[in-house]
Amino acid sequence: MFEMSDSEFALFRDFVLEMTGILLRPEKRTLLENRLRPRLRAHAMTSYLEYYTHLRSLGPDAVGELANAVTTDTTECWRSPHQWDFLIGTVFPILVSQAASTAGSRTPLFWSAGCSTGEEAYSLAIAAAESLPTALARQMQVLATDISPRAIEKAGQGRYRPARLAKLPPGALARHFTPEPDGTWLAKPALRERVIFRVQNLLEPTPAPVPFTVILCRNVMIYFAEAVRRRLVDRLCEALAPGGWLFLGPSEMLLDPPAGIEHRAPSVYRRSLP
């Protein structure tokens, strides 16, 4: 069994930070070893240094392989239910009245940033389908991005074990998913066509189209170095339409929100209207 030396850990820690923004603390060393070991075997390599040198030689293409290996993809549909209650009970009525006053001139754009295997993005599409007036729900688009190509591939398949869907509101599972013979549930085409999945690194410029009506970037920054987190918050806030909403994870509240950003509910922020 391969062991990672202090210097090999330092090389990977710095590389991961540079490519993904994720800060690997010393206690993550065993996790990193366990995640990378299968990659060493797959490449028939005998040391972590050899694998590091290989990744470095890939240049920017290393990011996908590295992200597949080091990211944490824990997620589920309707994660943190109080935030979905707030989205449906407070944000949606505001969008409905805005749509009425602008005669539907602006397409509501939602972004699940760091969407992992897609449950959060499908939850957005379900919330809209179930709680927005039909015409507005049809206009709505969800962009869902993640740095991990493997997570995005799974997201596009839209196939989940029941545990990942257990928090959905009553009846939503049968309305939006079909049961498969192997016990998984498959997102129905009407749900899948509402969501566009893309591989995207949040350290790179924000994907077009902007501005977004709602951005969910939940349980992503918690893994980032502080300076990276601050830069990302600034960019996410800039990508919001005036009056747009930013949802962070429950433990990611902003102690010092950027100018023009108001705290509206636990880990929920709104860009001020002009």
Ligand X SMILES: C[S@@+](CC[C@H](N)C(=O)[O-])C[C@H]1O[C@@H](n2cnc3c(N)ncnc32)[C@H](O)[C@@H]1O
Amino acid identity, position 210: V
102 interacts with ligand X by CB under 6 A: no
Q: Tell me whether the omega of the peptide bond preceding residue 209 falls within 30 degrees of 0, making it cis.
A: yes
40 interacts with ligand X by CB under 6 A: no
20 interacts with ligand X by CB under 6 A: yes
Give the helix/strand (H/E) hosting 156.
helix 149-157
What's the closest the beta carbon of residue 3 comes to ligand X, in angstroms?
26
151 interacts with ligand X by CB under 6 A: yes
Of 13, 79, 146, 270, the catalytic one is 146
Q: Report the residue number, 21 or 158, with the smaller CB distance to ligand X.
A: 21
Which of these ranges, 65-73, 99-107, 177-185, 258-266, lies near ligand X under the rule CB under 6 A? 65-73
203 interacts with ligand X by CB under 6 A: yes
What's the closest the beta carbon of residue 159 comes to ligand X, in angstroms?
17
**Residue 85 annotated as catalytic:** no
Residue of the chain from 16, 36, 55, 67 that contacts ligand X (CB under 6 A): 67
* Interface positions, 75-94, toward ligand X (CB under 6 A): 75, 79
What's the closest the beta carbon of residue 200 comes to ligand X, in angstroms?
6
Strands of the sheet containing 177-179, edge to edge, are 159-160, 185-187, 177-179
Helix axes 62-70, 149-157, angle to 10 degrees: 70
What's the closest the beta carbon of residue 113 comes to ligand X, in angstroms?
7
Torsions phi, psi for 100 (to 5 deg): -65, -40
What's the closest the beta carbon of residue 225 comes to ligand X, in angstroms?
11
From 168, 267, 147, select the one nearest 215 (Cα to Cα). Answer: 267
In angstroms, the CA 115 to CA 217 distance is 8
Of 6, 25, 29, 35, the catalytic one is 35
142 interacts with ligand X by CB under 6 A: no
114 interacts with ligand X by CB under 6 A: yes
- Which residues, in sequence order, are CB contacts of 239 under 8 Å at separation 6+? 111, 206, 210, 211, 212, 215
In angstroms, the CA 147 to CA 66 distance is 10
214 interacts with ligand X by CB under 6 A: no
In angstroms, the CA 239 to CA 233 distance is 10
DSSP code string of 44-106: T-S-HHHHHHHHHHTGGGHHHHHHHHH------TT-SHHHHHHIIIIIHHHHHHHHHHTTT-S
Q: Report the residue number, 220 or 239, with the smaller CB distance to ligand X.
A: 220
Q: Give the x-and-dash track for 247-266 against ligand X (CB under 6 A).
A: --x-----------------
**Is-contact 269 248, C-beta < 8 A?**
yes
Residue of the chain from 83, 206, 213, 219 that contacts ligand X (CB under 6 A): 219
- Interacting residues with ligand X (CB under 6 A): 20-22, 67, 71-75, 79, 114-116, 120, 146-148, 151, 201-203, 218-220, 249
- Catalytic amino acids? 35, 146
